[in-house]
Structure 1
Amino acid sequence: MTIRLALDAIRKQLLGAKLSNEDCNLLITHFSSALLPGWFINMLSDYPLIGVNLTLSEALDESSFGVDMVWLSPKQMVEEALETYPGIIAIQLGYLPIGSCLFGSGDPYFLKMTVDNDNPPFVRIPHDILDENDKIDDSKIEPVCFSLSSFFELSQVIPNRIGQTTRSDSSSR
């Protein structure tokens, strides 16, 4: 299944924001074209994913931890990639930050964008993954789904919980 087909199936449940021209320029300014391919920009422009909460059961998560995450705003993506760990190191390895854990760990979710396709693997990179030399131990990267389309197909969109900040607007972090 393609990403677009998976998103079309849940489109009515997506109550987030679409990528604005200003936010698109922010992403293009901070990320290389290898990390930010056209299909990704088109996806965020066409589907209101920003700020959407998604959940995936432990049984369907390749890492068996389960997922409860919010899709990051462009500003949050840039902050995760350029100002915080593990994002600072992960981006150098071709991982684009796209989500944040809502379970309590705050661990970020990434797409492995150096894979030569338009349906990259979806992974979680825990905050404590860096070794003593500030390198990422690849064995500790947690695969969630082997493709982004699989994640959208298997996950559920959950309504924003009362009193919970979704961090969907650019100024909320």
Structure 2
Amino acid sequence: MENIIFNMAKSFIERAEILSKATLGRTATDEEIKLLKQKFDSKLPDWYYFLISELPLIHMEIGWQDEDKEVQYIEILTPKDMIDESYNAYPGIPILNKGYICIGIDPSGSGDPYFINFNNPEYPVFQIYHDSGDQPEEILSRGREKVTDSLRELFENGIILE
């Protein structure tokens, strides 16, 4: 699965590059990867470190269609912001131990973060609302919207910001 995710992400980057190099983000630095490993340890799989260190995803915006067929965007966070949203902010704090790690933010202004459930082998992506509660069960039952069934699917069907 991890190789498929990498290949889909690489293909997404290549599609974006054809439109405009300005749509590309940047890669994570060695220092940022070290910081992530120190903080998340085994909560974040090695393939994710590799993904963001090899492909210019940080600060890139990836579009997806919501249930109303509106295009929403995920801005991929820097490692520092991933840590901050997962360890120091709600809804990240209560759901971290359930396998949810913040990987993105809504750049349109709502600020509602995006999480991957790294405990699920498909790595589904969710937008989780700030005002959805402070208990993991409450947040995960009523305060999230599934973006895609898998991270692979996000890259495969991702809409490129023009």
1:77 maps onto 2:82 in alignment: yes
Q: How far has the Cα of 1:105 moved from its partner?
A: 1.1
Distance across 1 between alignment mates of 2:70 and 2:160: 18
Q: How far has the Cα of 1:36 moved from its partner?
A: 1.0
> Which amino acid counterpart does residue 18 of structure 1 have in structure 2?
T
Q: What does residue 145 of structure 2 align with?
A: 142
Distance across 2 between alignment mates of 1:77 and 1:65: 26
TM-score for both structures, normalised by structure 2: 0.84
* Root-mean-square deviation over aligned CA pairs: 1.9
Q: What does residue 20 of structure 2 align with?
A: none
Distance across 2 between alignment mates of 1:57 and 1:95: 22
Q: What does residue 162 of structure 1 align with?
A: none
Query: How do 1:5-84 and structure 2 match up within 5 A?
Result: 5-12=7-14, 13=16, 15-33=24-42, 35-59=43-67, 66-84=71-89
Structure 2 unaligned residues grouped into runs of 5+: 17-22
Q: Percent identity?
A: 33
1:128 partner SS? coil
TM-score for both structures, normalised by structure 1: 0.79
* Contact 2:12 2:158 (8 Å CA) reproduced: no
Runs of 4+ in 1 over 6 A off after TM superposition: none
Q: How far has the Cα of 1:45 moved from its partner?
A: 1.3
2:41 partner SS? coil
Alpha-carbon deviations, 1:54-110, whole Å to 9, x = none? 111225x8xx66521210000000110111111111212110100001232110000
* Contact 1:81 1:97 (8 Å CA) reproduced: yes
